[in-house]
Amino acid sequence: MKSCCKEAMGDHENEETLVVEERKLSFLQKLKKKWKAKNILQVVLILITFTIGGSLCGYLGRKILNLVNIENNVIWIVLYIILVSILWPACVLLISIPMGQLSFFRKYLSKMGKRIFRR
């Protein structure tokens, strides 16, 4: 391939990368505004907390249900959904402590509880 074509393609790839980066930044800015976060780093920490908390919740749910040794898949799935729904707030709060996001998640879970229970 000629060097002029490589240069033209390189510029196009750089433009695409720039557009993708701008979209990510725009997405993070929207979350920052919605969650009233102080900065983008706090938004990233919140997203990491959601990710680790959710994964921990799923892991614990599977471990607990495997101890019970339920044979029926339908019952296992229903119990798993109920168990994960109960464990999730505790897991997210637990993970939010080392991430420094406890105050955000206490407010977030409080709002969720009010919406669910219509207080």
Which residues constitute the domain of residue 82?
Answer: 38-117
Residues 31, 41 contacting (CB under 8 angstroms): no
Q: Which amino acid is at 24?
A: K
How many structural domains does the chain have?
2
Within this chain, do residues 53 and 42 fall inside the same structural domain, yes or no?
Answer: yes
> Please, are residues 87 and 60 in contact by the beta-carbon 8 Å criterion?
yes
Q: Tell whether 31 and 44 lie within a shared domain.
A: no
pLDDT one-digit tens code per residue, 60-107: 999 999 998 888 899 999 999 999 999 999 999 999 999 999 999 999
What DSSP state is assigned to residue 71?
-
For 17-31, 50-64, 86-100, which range has the lowest pLDDT when averaged over its residues? 17-31
Spell out where 1-119 has E strands.
none
Closest CA to 25 of 44, 46, 49: 44
